[in-house]
A and B are shown apart, each in its own frame.
Chain A
C-alpha cells in the first residue's frame, strides 16, 4: 500500500481561554486517495474541530495542537504563511455546512470561484471563469452560464450547496472535507447532494472526509466510518462492519436511536444522559457514565484500543473478549 494521503497520529486539540476545552483527545486516522471516510458523532464530539485542524482554521493564539498530521506527505502543523495558504483550497478543501453563510453575499458566485482559481493557479480571469463554468457543469448546476452571474441570495439552498461544492473542487484538491454538507438542506435535496458528492469523489479520485451526525448519510457515501465521542474515536471499521456488527455500546446506542423502523406510538430509543464536559482530559472511558453495560474498571482507567480485525478498532474494554 502506498503512503496514505492523510496520516493523522494521536492528534490533540486544546482551546485555552477562561477555561480549557479538551476538544480532540488523541485521534489517529489514515486515509488513502480515492477513499471516503465518514466521521459520525453528536454535536460537540470534536468532528468539526478535527476537520478544521486539517486546514489550520482554528484561532492560532488560543489553540494548542499536538500530535502529527501529514497530508500528501506534508506536515500540516508546520506550515506557515504562504505555504499554509497554498495548502488551503489546493491540497485540502472544504464544503461548509450552510452555503448561505459560507458564500459572500455581495459577490457573484462565478467571481468567487474565479478568485480562488486565480489565487492558486495564477491564471487569467477568463481562464478562471471558464474553469468556474466547467465546475458548474460538473456539479450539474441548472443553466450554469446564468448561475455564474447570480448572487447567493438568488439561488435555492440546493443550488447554493452545488455552488459551494464547485468552489471547493475548483482547484482539484486531493482531499475534500465536508462538514455536514446536507444538514441545512431539505430531505429531497440532501440525497441529490450526497450522490453528487460521491460521484465527484470517484470522478476526481480524491480522498474525502465526510462529517455528519446522520447514520443514513454515512451509509450512503462512506467506505469506512469512524465514530467519535468526547473528542476520541471510539470505533472504526467499514460501513458494513459498523452497521451489521457494532461493538461499542455508544455505536449500538446510536444505531438503536435511529428512527427507521420505529413503531408509531412506541417510545423511541435514546441514549440517556449527556456527553461529558471536556474541561479536563479524560482519565477513564468518557462514555462510562451513560453506558448500560459499564463495569467498575470503566470509570477508573482509560479503555484499551482493541483491534478486532483489519482496519477495525474499538475503544472498549468489552471488545477484548
Chain B
C-alpha cells in the first residue's frame, strides 16, 4: 500500500524521505565528516585484512637490524627496538587498538543508556538512587579510575576492556538521564498518554526514539577518549601485554628510542592521533546531521 501511494503522488511532489536517509544525505554533504569516515573505514579494513597487507611478520625481530630509520629497504617505516617491522606492527596494532577503543564504548552505551533512561523516566527516588551511585564514579578522573580498576583486576585485554567499560558508563548514564528527563516533560509524551499508550509503549516508542540519537552521538565522541585511555593503559603495562602489537604499548616500548629514532618512535602516537581525531570529527558531523532544526 505504501509503495502504491508513493507512486501515485511522487510526480508533482518529492516524497518525504525517512529520518535516517535525511541524516545520511546531510552527512554526505559534509566533507570533513566524510573524510573522517573514510579514514575510519580504511583503518577498519586495515585491521580486518592485516595478514594480507602486512609485508612482514609483526612478531619476528632480529636484533642486528634494530631501530632502522624510516625508508630502509624492506622496512618502509623502519624497525623497532627488537628489529621488528614497524609497518607490519602498526597494521596489526589497528586490530587491538580499535577493539580496545570501540568495544568499551558499546558496552558502556548499552548499560549507561539503560541506567540513565530508567532513572530519567521513573524519576523521583529511583532517579536519585541511580544517579548518586553514578556520581560516585564521577568523583574519580577517568584516567585514574581506569588505571585503578585495571591495576586491581590485573593486566590483560579482557580486564582492560572491563575497566574501560566501567569508566564510560557514568558519563553516558548522565547524558541519558538528562536527555530523558527533558523528553519526559515534553507534551508529546503527555499526548501519547492521552491517547491511551501504556508506560512501556511510551518508553519503547517515544522516549527511546527521541533519546537514543543524542546518546549515540555522545558515545561516538567517547570512542576517541577510549582509544587514548586504552593506549594509556597499555603504555603503563596494564592493558595489552608484549609482544602483542598495540599502538599504546608500542609507544611505551619505543620511548627509550626517542633520541635514536624519534620519527619511528612517534609513529604509533601518530596512528592514535589520526584515529581518535577521525572518530571525533565523524561524531561532530553526525551530531549536526541529526539535528532536525538546522
Interface residues, chain A, CB within 8 Å of chain B? 55, 57, 82, 85-90, 93-94, 96, 98, 101-108, 115-116, 119-120, 126, 129-130, 143, 145-146, 148-151, 153-154, 164, 167-168, 171
Contacts and interface: CB of A to CB of B under 8 A. Distances in A.
A145 B16 contact: no
Contacts of B198: 82, 85
Interface string B176-202: 000000000011101111111110010
Contacts, number: 99
Nearest to B197: A119
Contacts of B52: none
A55 B192 CA distance: 12
Contact of A154 (B16, B194, B195, B209): B16
A6 B24 CA distance: 50
Nearest to A110: B2
Given A94-B195, A105-B188, A171-B195, 16 more contacts: A57-B190, A82-B198, A85-B197, A89-B194, A94-B194, A101-B187, A104-B210, A115-B201, A115-B205, A119-B196, A145-B9, A146-B5, A146-B16, A149-B16, A164-B191, A168-B195
Nearest to B198: A85
A126 B3 CA distance: 12
A98 B201 contact: no
Nearest to B292: A153
Contact of B187 (A96, A115, A167): A96
A85 B196 contact: yes
A89 B193 CA distance: 8
Interface in B1-43: 1-2, 5-6, 8-9, 13, 15-16, 19
Contacts of B196: 85-90, 116, 119-120, 171
A104 B192 contact: yes
Contacts of B209: 104, 106-107
B66 interface: no
Contacts of A82: 198
B206 interface: yes
A97 B205 CA distance: 22
Contacts of B206: 104
List 6 A-B pairs, minimum CB-CB distance, nearest first.
A89-B196, A89-B195, A145-B5, A101-B187, A102-B191, A88-B196
A148 B195 CA distance: 18
A57 B197 CA distance: 12
Nearest to A59: B123
Given A85-B197, A96-B187, A150 B16 contact: yes
Q: Chain A contact residues: over half helix, strand or loop, or mixed?
A: helix
Contacts of B187: 96, 98, 101-102
Contacts of B13: 143, 146
Contact of B19 (A89, A119, A151): A151
Contact of A149 (B2, B188, B194, B195): B2
Given A103-B188, A149-B6, A88 B193 contact: yes
A93 B194 contact: yes
Nearest to A115: B205
Contacts of A86: 196
A87 B187 CA distance: 19
A192 B69 CA distance: 79
Contacts of A102: 187-188, 190-191
A167 B195 contact: yes
B60 to A, nearest CB: 53
B210 A119 contact: no
A46 to B, nearest CB: 18
Nearest to A168: B195
A54 to B, nearest CB: 10
18 contacts: A86-B196, A87-B196, A88-B193, A89-B195, A89-B196, A90-B196, A93-B194, A94-B194, A96-B194, A103-B188, A104-B209, A106-B209, A106-B210, A115-B201, A143-B9, A146-B9, A149-B6, A149-B15
Interface in B203-260: 205-206, 209-210, 213
Contacts of A55: 193-194
A33 to B, nearest CB: 20
Nearest to B192: A104
B194 A119 contact: no
Contacts of B192: 104
A110 to B, nearest CB: 9
B204 to A, nearest CB: 11
A227 B5 CA distance: 47
Contacts of B15: 146, 149
A118 B9 CA distance: 26
Most-contacted residue by chain B among A82, A146, A148 (CB, 10 A): A146
Contacts of A105: 188, 210, 292
A85 B195 CA distance: 8
Contacts of B293: 153
A125 B92 CA distance: 50
A89 B197 CA distance: 9
A119 B192 CA distance: 11
Contacts of A116: 195-197
Contact of B5 (A88, A119, A148): A148
Contacts of A151: 16, 19, 292
